[in-house]
């Protein structure tokens, strides 16, 4: 009896085993990424949950469970409540400004003009520099003594002379006056996220079919109407993604507040991530720090789900 | 026939797999043999000293020489002082890392995970005499009777003032009392446009200044037995004083103060008085000699009843984590460090002061001009502060002489009680500077004290439950 004939690829598959089975190979190839996510995100997250339910300290990380005591203590702490409010406020305020500015920049960058590459380069620059380095630069810009902004204001007579618009003092003390310190944090958050949002918006605007705009133009739609009826609806999913990415980055950011104000003056710029660090690491109360950090989780989880939904909608578009 | 590619997917995956396995396994095959072949090891983690030449010209070289003399392979890693807490926490949590970790504040919260160094202290006192009380109080927990760290030295925190400005205001020898800061500091601000620089911010120096003020007003966070005693009329008096001081002699820059702000302000000629170690003056000597020549020093300022205390500026505390496998080498290193602290004092340009003042000076060339008649560190301390070996040519003599008796007016974090984790958390979460800042920004002093007391009591109660803090309230 002759052996059944087998086609060549099937024979190779049979010989090769796992390496030639598409489904197994796909799992094998994706495994390092999954392992990485589990090790770098999953394990610390589970650890944070365990710590938050314990009385662990930096000096004694053993777990003795105390239930929800740390969450109750956090909620009773006025600094925590202020940090929570600041985190939400800084995030929403900065990202609203980012969406607006990035749309303007993206629209401008769609046009052809001389020196466009330089403008693009300058816009992208904050994104290429390490956040801490850029923020240290801002720390000097906003310094109480050496601020170059104050120097310019003094030079043009807006500051430092009797009757000057911004006062007779030599400096404005950007990081020492609550209102100015809050504005400074928002400003640096905007500066940091704007490049990413601009690129995302640019991609969204570029993807609008030209014939659609031309048809609207032929039908007599004004630029304003075209923006309202075509551009905004079609780019809404991708604009939302830019907004939500910005929310994630800003909501979890420690560097800007830590470098600029360390949460001061008098906790007026304290945010959840910085308060987690001061309480949990510098103060030694690891469990309390973990509990504070977990208050960020519901917001971040909701944002992540929204991003995934938006991304799917963008695919349809 | 289709052209066969040079590298099939199968070949690629095999090659990548073999490569990864080789990379992973190779170190376990080769490195242990090398490690086993080496003699004893010691890994040390220390801060990057404020005086750069201390590390470059002395500490790193000293450590290597010590290693050679004792047959120990020593590795020293320097990190920024801000990274010490997180790095220590990470190493303790991982159960591996350095054998010796140097802190510049009392690391009392790490007590459960570090070795009791009581035997090292005992041995050091037998060889070198009594340890300074503020160093002992920064490394010993009287509740558990454990030395959670070993303190070989500390840094003085005097007041630094610009003589020319104070002379014009009619107080040429600088302030003597806290009230002088308002009277003459206020006058300097009004007449000469130069403010005082005492931080009211969420950082180190502001924390120290707030403590010094409370102690000088005969009050504190805790008493000797670690009971919280913050809310009392003397604290309210001190906080009310700070609000007046801010109004009369300072500007809002102090709410944004950082650890380098007082140095910068003094060097830039924008501060008439600051509370800082002599590092600000040393920086000025290099960067702006004319300003340096105008900088003079005061001891802790007297409060309304004559009491005066400043906080230590830096307290050097070494811990040996329980995971360390080189405990004997670590302990020997610490003992020998005390024996060579004369060099630490000199190479830090007098920034470091010894914890064991009666340590004999080793014989031979010590790397600095010999001081006639000096036999112990206390002799060097007195001689160098009387006649600063690092003074600039033409600079006034004896500027640092007021620092000679600094041990009498310097106190530890937690004074009059010991340093403890609760005091540490109160420090790390800026309770005192914010109490002062709240009053300076217009809150009633009583309310500011009440708020701070509430936070402090919560923190103390928490650590008390862990058995690391004494007291009842």
How do residues B156-194 score in pLDDT, each as one tens digit? 999 999 999 999 999 999 999 999 999 999 999 999 999
Domain boundaries, given as residue ranges, for chain A: 1-52, 74-316
User: What confidence score (pLDDT) does residue B36 get?
Assistant: 44
User: What confidence score (pLDDT) does residue A2 get?
Assistant: 46
Which chain A positions have a beta carbon within 8 Å of B255's beta carbon?
A: 173, 175-177, 264-266
CA atoms of B61 and B44, how far apart (whole Å): 13
Q: Which CATH superfamily is domain B39-156+313-386 in?
A: Periplasmic binding protein-like II (3.40.190.10)
| B302: β partners | B177
Quickly state the pLDDT bin for B39 (edges 50, 70, 90).
Answer: low
End-to-end C-alpha distance for chain B, whole angstroms: 89
| CA distances for B296 relative to B91, B152, B460, angstroms | 42, 27, 39
Identify whether the C-beta of residue B438 lies closer than 8 Å to the C-beta of residue B448: yes
| CA distances for B320 relative to A282, B24, B150, B210, angstroms | 19, 31, 9, 31
Which residues belong to CATH 3.40.190.10 in chain B? Answer: 39-156+313-386, 159-308+419-465
Encoding tokens for residue B325? 């496998």
Which chain A positions have a beta carbon within 8 Å of B462's beta carbon?
A: 73, 285
Pairing type for strands B40-47 and B410-411 reads unpaired
Residue corresponding to tokens 């009385």: A55
| CA distances for A244 relative to A96, A298, B363, angstroms | 11, 14, 68
Pairing type for strands B146-147 and B140-141 reads antiparallel
Question: Dihedral (C-alpha) B88, B90, B92, B95: value to the nearest 10 degrees?
Answer: -140
Long-range contacts of A304-308 (CB under 8 A, 24+ apart): A304/A248, A306/A240, A306/A244, A307/A241, A307/A244, A307/A245, A307/A248
Give the ipTM of the model, two decimals please: 0.86
A265 to B251: CB separation less than 8 angstroms, yes or no:
no
Question: CATH for A74-316?
Answer: 1.10.3720.10
Q: What is the rounded average pLDDT of the residues A106-135?
A: 89
Quickly state the pLDDT bin for A213 (edges 50, 70, 90).
Answer: confident
pLDDT digit string, tens, across residues B224-283: 999 999 999 999 999 999 999 999 999 999 999 998 899 999 999 999 999 999 999 999
* Average pLDDT of chain B, as a whole number: 93
Identify whether the C-beta of residue B410 lies closer than 8 Å to the C-beta of residue B156: yes
The minimal CB distance from A282 to the residues B113, B200, B428 is found for B428
Q: What is the rounded average pLDDT of the residues A197-222?
A: 91
Question: CATH for B159-308+419-465?
Answer: 3.40.190.10
Which residues, numbered 126 to 185 in chain A, qualify as contacts with chain B under a Cβ-Cβ cut-off of 8 Å?
Answer: 144-146, 169, 171, 173-177, 181
Chain A and chain B share a number of CB contacts under 8 A equal to 132
Quickly state the pLDDT bin for A202 (edges 50, 70, 90).
Answer: very high
A266 to B437: CB separation less than 8 angstroms, yes or no:
yes
How much of chain A exceeds pLDDT 90, in percent? 66
Does the pLDDT of residue B94 top 80, yes or no?
Answer: yes
Peptide bond into B188 cis (omega under 30): no
User: What confidence score (pLDDT) does residue A307 get?
Assistant: 83
Closest CA to A294 of A309, A279, A310, A308: A279
A173 to B253: CB separation less than 8 angstroms, yes or no:
yes
How much of chain B exceeds pLDDT 70, in percent? 92
């Amino acid at each position: 009896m002759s052996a059944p004939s087998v086609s060549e690829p099937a024979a190779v598959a049979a010989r090769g085993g796992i390496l030639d089975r598409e489904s197994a190979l796909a799992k094998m190839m994706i495994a390092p990424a999954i392992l990485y996510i589990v090790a770098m995100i999953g394990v610390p997250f589970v650890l944070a949950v365990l710590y938050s339910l314990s009385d662990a300290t930096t000096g004694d990380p053993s777990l003795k469970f105390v239930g929800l005591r740390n969450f109750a203590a956090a909620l009773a702490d006025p600094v925590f409540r202020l940090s929570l409010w600041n985190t939400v406020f800084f995030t929403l305020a900065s990202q609203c400004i980012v969406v607006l500015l990035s749309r303007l920049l993206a629209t401008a960058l769609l046009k052809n003009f001389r020196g466009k590459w330089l403008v693009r380069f300058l816009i992208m620059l904050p994104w290429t520099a390490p956040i801490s380095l850029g923020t240290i630069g801002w720390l000097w810009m906003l310094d109480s003594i050496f601020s170059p902004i104050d120097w310019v204001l003094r030079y043009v007579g807006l500051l430092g002379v009797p009757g000057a618009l911004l006062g007779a003092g030599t400096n404005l003390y950007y990081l020492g006056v609550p209102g100015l310190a809050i504005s400074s944090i928002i400003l640096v958050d905007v500066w940091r996220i704007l490049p990413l949002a601009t690129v995302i918006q640019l991609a969204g605007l570029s993807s609008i079919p030209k014939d659609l705009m031309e048809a609207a133009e032929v039908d007599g739609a004004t630029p304003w109407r075209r923006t309202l009826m075509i551009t905004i609806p079609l780019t809404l999913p991708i604009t939302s993604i830019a907004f939500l990415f910005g929310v994630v980055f800003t909501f979890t950011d420690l560097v800007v507040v830590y470098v600029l104000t360390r949460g001061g003056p008098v906790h007026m710029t304290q945010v959840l991530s910085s308060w987690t660090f001061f309480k949990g690491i510098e103060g030694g109360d690891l469990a309390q720090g973990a509990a504070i950090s977990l208050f960020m989780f519901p917001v971040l989880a909701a944002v992540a789900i929204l991003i995934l939904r938006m991304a799917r909608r963008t695919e349809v578009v | 026939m289709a052209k066969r590619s040079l590298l099939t997917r199968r070949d690629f995956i095999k090659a990548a797999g073999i490569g990864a396995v080789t990379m992973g396994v190779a170190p376990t095959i080769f490195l242990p043999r090398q490690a086993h072949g080496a003699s004893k090891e010691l890994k040390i983690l220390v801060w990057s000293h404020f005086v750069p030449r201390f590390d470059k010209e002395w500490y790193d070289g000293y450590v290597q020489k010590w290693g050679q003399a004792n047959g120990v392979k020593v590795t020293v890693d320097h990190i920024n002082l801000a990274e010490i807490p997180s790095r220590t926490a990470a190493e303790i949590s991982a159960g591996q890392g350095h054998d010796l970790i140097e802190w510049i504040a009392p690391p009392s919260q790490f007590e459960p995970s570090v070795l009791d160094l009581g035997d090292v202290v005992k041995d050091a006192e037998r060889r070198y005499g009594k340890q300074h009380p503020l160093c002992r109080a920064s490394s010993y927990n009287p509740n558990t009777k454990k030395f959670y760290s070993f303190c070989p030295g500390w840094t003085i925190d005097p007041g630094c003032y610009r003589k020319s400005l104070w002379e014009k205001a009619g107080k040429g020898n600088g302030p003597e009392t806290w009230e002088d800061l308002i009277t003459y500091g206020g006058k300097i601000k009004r007449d000469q446009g130069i403010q005082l620089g005492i931080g009211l911010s969420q950082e180190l120096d502001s924390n120290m200044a707030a403590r010094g003020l409370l102690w000088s007003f005969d009050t504190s966070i805790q008493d000797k037995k670690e009971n919280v005693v913050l809310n009392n009329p003397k604290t309210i008096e001190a906080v009310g004083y700070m609000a007046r001081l801010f109004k009369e002699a300072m500007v809002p820059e102090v709410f944004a103060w950082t650890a380098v702000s007082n140095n910068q302000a003094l060097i830039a000629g924008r501060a008439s008085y600051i509370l800082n170690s002599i590092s600000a003056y040393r920086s000025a000597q290099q960067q702006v000699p004319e300003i340096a020549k105008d900088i003079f020093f005061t001891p802790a300022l007297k409060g309304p009843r004559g009491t005066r205390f400043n906080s230590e500026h830096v307290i050097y505390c070494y811990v040996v984590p329980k995971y360390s496998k080189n405990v004997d080498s670590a302990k020997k290193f610490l003992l020998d460090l005390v024996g060579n602290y004369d060099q630490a004092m000199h190479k830090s340009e007098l920034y470091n002061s010894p914890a064991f003042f009666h340590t004999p000076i080793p014989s031979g060339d010590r790397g600095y001009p010999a001081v006639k008649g000096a036999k112990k560190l206390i002799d060097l301390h007195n001689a160098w502060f009387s006649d600063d070996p690092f003074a600039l040519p033409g600079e006034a003599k004896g500027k640092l002489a007021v620092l000679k008796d600094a041990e009498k007016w310097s106190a530890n974090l937690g004074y009059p009680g010991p340093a403890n984790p609760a005091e540490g958390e109160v420090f790390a979460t800026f309770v005192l500077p914010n109490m002062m800042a709240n009053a300076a920004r217009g809150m009633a002093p009583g309310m500011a004290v009440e708020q701070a007391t509430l936070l402090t009591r919560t923190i103390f109660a928490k650590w008390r439950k862990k058995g690391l803090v004494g007291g009842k309230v």
